[in-house]
Amino acid sequence: MTYMKNLIFILTLVFVSLNTSAQFSKAELQVNGLTCSMCSLATQKQLQTLDFIDSIGTDLNQTIYILYFKKGADTDADQIRKKVEDAGFSVGSLTFTIAIETMKVENNAQYVYKDAVYQFMNIESQTLSGNVNFKVIDKGFITDKEYKNYLKAASKYPAYKTGKTLEGKRVYHITLEKDEK
Amino acid sequence: MKSSAVIILLALSSALHAQELYVSTEPASNMPAKSIGLRLNNYLMPPYSNIGAGVIHTNSMFRFNPELMWGISKNSMLHFNFYMSNMHQAAFKFEGSGLYFKYRFLSIDNSQRHFRMAAYAKGALINNAIQYNELNIGGDNTGITTGIIVTQLIHKLALSFTAGYIAAFDNINDNFLASQPQQSINYSLSGGYLLFPFKYKNYDQPNVNIYAEFLGKYNPETKEQFIDFAPAIQFIFKSKMRLDIAYRRQISGNMLRINNQEFVVKFEYNIFNAYQKKTKE
């Protein structure tokens, strides 16, 4: 039930009432810049030092890691990115899976979850439920080419360039991926 | 030679980016931050004579070069080198030590490919006789070397180019003669290919990489040069141990060198997150 308290709306764009609990269960992390298994192991060992990660599944051929989070853990996308970069590589994509009961979302609305703010980009207003996948589309979480494309539309999303709210709080820009099969 | 074989067998050492884990050169990529590796480099030169130049070695020569490698941050790494050999006298002796620093200043990653550039600098203090005109900061000469590395990885193929400058100074107990060169330009072109596995199953699967490297030096003072060809095969075990076997041979040149061929065996062991706190709930 503590998730409920944390997941509150902070801007005045839309009011979202959350009579639900949310849970970050896992993330699919695609790492760029490597092919060898030694590089993959170095990356995995870096990721294993993160305390919010419970276990890691690997697809070595596609250099994809499935990060399973500890229940109720405070996930930190920037820490994940830093560990990948420390191994010598970069994040190609990071998609979180969040389990929610029911939640109404609007484009450009910001939501607070734990210590970070999540802002939706390029979505239709809708009601979400079940396992929802959202992809982080900030700089450093997608390829530079993709980032430049998103940046073109950034005037609508003032925090996109800086990744921070006016108060200096971290904002992750997220977009919805198709529901898990 | 028996003792050296034992050293090779006892040796354990490490690696980082499979097909660009070149045997005779360094890639522009770095070690992972906070990792430590131990590399045991073994160089064996068979008997060699170059009568015209007055170089006659009736026995094989061997150099053992343990190298401690430290990934300071994602962009910088340091290698501590120790050299011992019988290359400049009949007895096997400690020759000196060297420090190598590499800084990666450009990294462009995409899925299963990357482009990287790095700058390096190395210095060594060596106690050997100065007998040859090939300047080598890897055990023969006191001096410094610095250069640039460019590496491109495209899935299973990696290409790398190095260009550097070497300045040698007097060795600890021997000085340069006026006729001996003290500067050299070095360059190399390396290609590496991941031969096995075709498809990764797990971290325990051995990897096999093959390499072809061209290594050259040019001494502007004496107008001497050489180009070596160095093919190599590499085995990676448990995704953290590496065994390299290379053969290096001169394909063209006029430089006064210690030898025109060399066998190289390297054993490497990596400890990832050697001193990184593992936070547990």
Higher pLDDT, A4 or B184: B184
Return the pLDDT at A21: 62
**Nearest residue of A to residue B36 by CA position?**
A42
Interatomic CA distance for residues B213 and B244, integer angstroms: 13
Distance from CA of A127 to the nearest CA of B (A): 33
CB pairs under 8 A between A and B: 123
- C-beta separation of B235 from B242 below 8 A: yes
- C-beta separation of A11 from A66 below 8 A: no
**Nearest residue of A to residue B18 by CA position?**
A36
Return the pLDDT at B18: 46
Q: Does B73 touch chain A (CB under 8 A)?
A: yes
Return the pLDDT at B3: 47
Angle at B80 between CA B257 and CA B234, to 5 degrees: 70
- Cβ contacts (< 8 Å) between A85 and chain B: which residues? 74
- Cβ contacts (< 8 Å) between A48 and chain B: which residues? 273, 278
Helices then strands, counting H and E runs in chain B, come out as 1, 14
Interatomic CA distance for residues B156 and B153, integer angstroms: 7
Contact B32 A88 (CB under 8 A): yes
Which residue among B30, B240, B278 places its CB closest to the CB of A49?
Answer: B278
Higher pLDDT, A18 or B26: B26
- C-beta separation of A61 from B155 below 8 A: no
Mutation site, A29, A31, A35, interface B, largest B CB count within 10 A? A35
Instruction: Please name the helix (run of DSSP H) or strand (run of DSSP E) that holds residue B279, with its range, or none.
Output: none
CA quadruple B48, B52, B55, B59: dihedral sign: positive
Distance from CA of B198 to the nearest CA of A (A): 9
Over the stretch A85-144, which tens digit does the pLDDT of each residue have? Answer: 999 999 999 999 988 888 888 888 888 887 788 888 888 888 888 888 999 999 999 988
Interatomic CA distance for residues B187 and B164, integer angstroms: 6
Peptide bond into B197 cis (omega under 30): yes
Q: Does B2 touch chain A (CB under 8 A)?
A: no
One digit per residue, the tens of pLDDT, for chain B of length 281 reads: 444 433 333 332 223 344 688 999 999 988 999 999 999 999 999 999 888 888 889 999 999 999 999 999 999 999 999 999 999 999 999 999 999 999 999 998 887 788 999 999 999 999 999 999 999 999 999 999 999 999 998 878 899 999 999 999 999 999 999 999 999 999 999 999 988 888 888 888 899 999 999 999 999 999 999 999 999 999 999 999 999 999 999 999 999 999 999 999 999 999 988 887 665 43
Q: Does B276 touch chain A (CB under 8 A)?
A: yes
Which residue among B32, B110, B280 places its CB closest to the CB of A51?
Answer: B280
DSSP B78: E
Residue A159 has pLDDT above 90, yes or no: no
Question: Considering only residues 79 to 118 of chain B, which have any Cβ-Cβ distance to chain A shorter than 8 Å?
Answer: 107-114
**3-class SS string, B21-32:** CCCCCCCCCCCC
Residues paired with A57 in a beta bridge: A66
The letter for the amino acid at B4 is S
Which residue among B110, B200, B278 places its CB closest to the CB of A48?
Answer: B278
| ipTM confidence | 0.80
Contact A42 B16 (CB under 8 A): yes
Over the stretch A32-73, which tens digit does the pLDDT of each residue have? Answer: 988 778 889 999 999 999 999 999 999 888 889 999 999 888
Q: Burial level of A178, CB count in 10 A (0-12/13-18/19+)?
A: exposed
Q: Does B58 touch chain A (CB under 8 A)?
A: no
